[in-house]
Amino acid sequence: MNISRAWDWKQETDPFWLKPSEESYYFANRWKEMNFKNLLDFGCGLGRHSIFFAKQGFHVWAFDLSEDGVNTLTGWAKKENLSINTHICDMLKLPYPDQYFDGIFAYHVISHTDTKGMEAILSEIHRVLKPNGEIFLSLCSKETWSYKEAGYPKIDDNTIVKTEEGPEQGVPHFYVTFDDIIQLFGEFEIRHIRHVDDCYYAGEKHNSKHYFILAKSR
């Protein structure tokens, strides 16, 4: 089907989405050491990683399909006196030149599509990354309850659509196995894969598993 869909950020109130992830601190240091300059916050949401990387001295571009998300980031950057290049666009077709970015950070976003969409998105990422540039991203694991047991409607073998009310209602979620990752990332050199189980959050048990992937453009 080749689809993607934005979160409804007006319904999201958890302050989690305003604080940089633990992984962003590692990659800020890694990419400084590698002398990376141009970074893309891929599916920026409200802009927590865009703000963080800009404060670390990187030249930051950011996009999201959500107009509310991008507008929040634009206002936030203005308050912080930071220069961040923002776009409202779909991750299926990026508005950037070929071989433009040293690094791309895609945290809990690239999964919001179906199988055909994932193939198109990875092709676009490969197009806009410089040779030897790096992409860090997370993908939903098929070991997660929401894929295995929740009973959400499936639109293909890898993709479910969440139906409960909230910011993710109607949003597709693409899930993978390790073997799926190897197949999908044929255009990249995979540097590292972690399988992470977020089993407890905010006083409650969770069953949320993700793959965290670092890959290099060939």
Q: Please report whether residue 12 resides in a domain.
A: no
Q: Please report whether residue 204 resides in a domain.
A: yes
Report pLDDT for 91: 95
Report pLDDT for 7: 60
CATH number for 23: 3.40.50.150
The residue segments making up the domain with residue 63 are: 19-217
DSSP state for residue 112 in the 8-state scheme: S
Q: What's the Cα-to-Cα distance from 161 to each of 19, 164, 168, 171, 199, rounded to whole Å? A: 26, 10, 9, 6, 22
Q: What's the Cα-to-Cα distance from 114 to each of 2, 27, 29, 92, 172, rounded to whole Å? A: 6, 27, 33, 11, 7
Report pLDDT for 2: 65
Q: Please report whether residue 9 resides in a domain.
A: no
Summarize pLDDT for 50-65 with one digit per residue, the tens. 999 999 999 999 999 9
- Asked if 201 and 41 count as a contact pair (C-beta separation under 8 A), the reply is no
Q: Please report whether residue 93 resides in a domain.
A: yes
Summarize pLDDT for 137-172 with one digit per residue, the tens. 999 999 999 999 989 999 999 999 999 888 888 889
Instruction: Match 């540097």 to its residue by tokens.
Output: 191
Q: Please report whether residue 121 resides in a domain.
A: yes
Phi, psi of 22 (to 5 degrees): -60, -40
Summarize pLDDT for 79-119 with one digit per residue, the tens. 999 999 999 999 999 999 999 999 999 999 999 999 999 99
Report pLDDT for 205: 84
Number of domains in the chain: 1
Instruction: Match 């990387």 to its residue by tokens.
Output: 53
| Among 160, 146, 117, 164, CA closest to 209 | 146
